[in-house]
A and B are shown apart, each in its own frame.
Chain A
Amino acid sequence: MDIVNEILEREQKKAEKYKPITVEKHLDLQFDVGSLLAFDTNDLDTKSINSLKDTYLQSLSRDNTQLLLNKIWELPTERIEEAIVVRLPPPTTILPRAKPVPKPKPLTKWQEFAKEKGITKKKKDKSQWDEQLQKWVPLYGFRKAAAEKEKNWLIEVPQNVDPMTDMYEKKASEKSEKVAKNELQRLKNIARARKVKIPRVGIPVTSDKASATQLSTAASVAKASTASLGKFQDKLPKEKEARGKGIHELIPGKEKKRKAPIPTAQAERENNLNLIDSILNKRPKIDIDKAVSKHIHQEQVQRSVEKKNMKPTKGKAKSKGKGNVTNFSAKKPKAGKGQRNPSKKNPGRKRR
């Protein structure tokens, strides 16, 4: 037992020589060992921060670093090239990326087709043995063109072709056509991937080339741009007038729907108040001009009635009806008044 006690005492003395590696904390720290991060949520000592800032911060940091390193030293170690390393767990703090996650590359039309049909790409050798030249000729790229040139030092003109054709020129143009077609295909694939609408044939609308609707609009506007607003212009067979948003306004002679300008808040308020006033204050309005003319009209009517009722003179009894000059009234003569069916509405005067 003495030996055991002795050893224990010695160990204790040894331990006293060193400073401790344990730290007392009220709340446990949050660690993210994967990114070597420690987060201390314990309240800070405000007094010490104000008075002994640097020493307080250093001691606080020391304690937290000690706790973090304690965690790291618990991890399994490895030896890589004479250095002792620890394997870190994956980090738990998720940081934003610098660029968005890449989307998978959209398939080209051919790739889509090949996938559907199960066609796989076959690996070809980079160079092939050429029997004619008796050497290895690359499939494409460096030295391919030279080999081709050497091979085709002479091209026979076939029987069915005009004997004066330049076969070299023909070959070159065929090649450039292929390249152009390939480029067009590539652009079409990009357009398809970006969901851009392109015409099936021809070229898409650019600033210097107009579309069909633009052309038809221009034609319609031009047709209506005569003094008679295109009334006497002949129509082409199957011609259609341009339609669409905003086209109607472009064509001269067409009714324009003018929108009233948006009133300001103040003006609108004033208008509405006036409207309410006019409804609420129902004072009869008197239009003096109208009232006077009405009155004159009434008097005239009365007078004419009186004249009619008066007994006609002898001489004038024969001439009756329309020819009565004295029977003057403000109104225009009405055809056959009194002879028609009175229940029917008056059809108006006879037009001559």
Chain B
Amino acid sequence: MDVQTLTYIIVGLSFALYIGIAIWSRAGSTKEFYVAGGGVHPVVNGMATAADWMSAASFISLAGIVSFVGYDGSVYLMGWTGGYVLLALCMAPYLRKFGKFTVPDFVGERYYSQAARTVAVICAIFICFTYIAGQMRGVGVVFSRFLEVDVDTGVYIGMAVVFFYAVLGGMKGITYTQVAQYCVLIFAFMVPAIFLSVMMTGHIIPQIGFGAQLLDAAGNNSGVYLLEKLNNVSTELGFAPYTDGSKSMIDVFCITGALMVGTAGLPHVIVRFFTVPKVKDARISAGWALVFIAIMYTTVPALAAFSRVNMIETINGPDAKGVAYESAPDWIKNWEKTGLIKWNDKNGDGKIYYSSGKIEDAASKNEMKIDNDIIVLATPEIANLPAWVIALVAAGGLAAALSTSAGLLLVISTSVSHDLLKKNLMPNISDKKELMFARLAAGVGIVIAGYFGVNPPGFVAAVVAFAFGLAASSLFPAIIMGIFSKTMNKEGAIAGMLTGLLFTAGYIIYFKFVNPADNVAANWFLGISPEGIGMVGMLVNFGVAALVSRVTTATPQHVQEMVESIRFPKGSGEASGH
């Protein structure tokens, strides 16, 4: 069977599975729609959280980014896993004891203020929308390459599937569907990595192959370590050595910090820990989530290194002088059609050649432009793996995009129906009406996300920096101070959130949208790039909040008692007391 047919079969089967699960576990009440009935086992919840977390961006782009930037890619690896430690130790158990549905619920009650709740709702909705815009595009890209439909059609199919299980199923349907999606995506990610590891180093575990010696053509140890080879090749071609990177230390530090703290402040991740039965389960659930995430995230740098060596050797050939275009492998020509690979034969020798520099620049010898996003999708083709592996990777990319979209949509619909309508505008709304509005909001959310999928804003990467920066500088400090300080009052928290938010948003908007020409290290505050500024925004938030709370009225007694009561597990209610 050819790749095409296999892809239809494998993707079709996985979709049938997701939709089947969604129908089987339909949510009947608001409670089930929001928090899965509170009866989700920690391991199951951890797996669903991992699927929720690992988006199309992690599945498709992350290994590609690490592959191109080497050590600098560590910011994503440490940042997107380290945040779970903060979540588990400083947030999950206390928020679970607090026992409401959403992050704005906590902020609103802890700071006894409708204004604080509103600021939190706006942050939550904005963060989720920036995220989901990229997801629907991811679905479109995968479909367009593997099913040979155009990107727009791919987006429409994705919208229909997400609508089915997010809107009808609610959290209950999503949780079990996400477990299935995790299994599909991790299998799809690991298979090519293991294949490559065995082929190149003889080790079955990619994490070990990553540090091992390469095999020579006869299958014996060549005496050259994979990373040593990568460093040599990178230097020869004019790149920074793979294990050193080229970002400044302070920037690496701040980006890692902003991503860690931002992860811990993302509403669609936090809401997961409201769904487990007990405080004890919230603690261990974060641990399981990180186990499932780390299986992929520790494989990412290994896959990145394998693909890098493979790709350079395929393009530049055994003599490192380039390969004739006619005899170049099919994947290069296939991806050229999508525009994600470009070839510019500058020296007119009919050979493809890859090195540092831009292909438009006459002074550079580089003739190939290769997009980050193709590395994972193209790796099975680059390494000549069997056709079913290629089909599997397509199914995995879709699983990643769909699971994250569904989780985000649920937070959007909850924020609108619960936080905005029930707690703000229409306090007397019935449960049934609330559920209806939740589904309506999810529907509207899908349409908006689909719109951005069809008409991509062209600055997805910039918006993602935005989402993390805002989460780090607004929601995270408010939640942490709400738990660990009894004296933090509403004036302090609101002032902190607003200044943190304005500072971070202002900095990012200036460098990314208003004046992108200025976006170079020399103009940055202390050499910190817009991606890392959330770390500074967070400190600004903490500082302003502490100052303002000193000079304003004290926190009311009943709020102080509430803070005391969330600090220990005894007496936690059901997962979703309404």
Q: Do A and B come from the same complex? A: no
Binding site for A on B (CB under 8 A): none
Residues in A lying within 8 Å of B, measured CB to CB = none
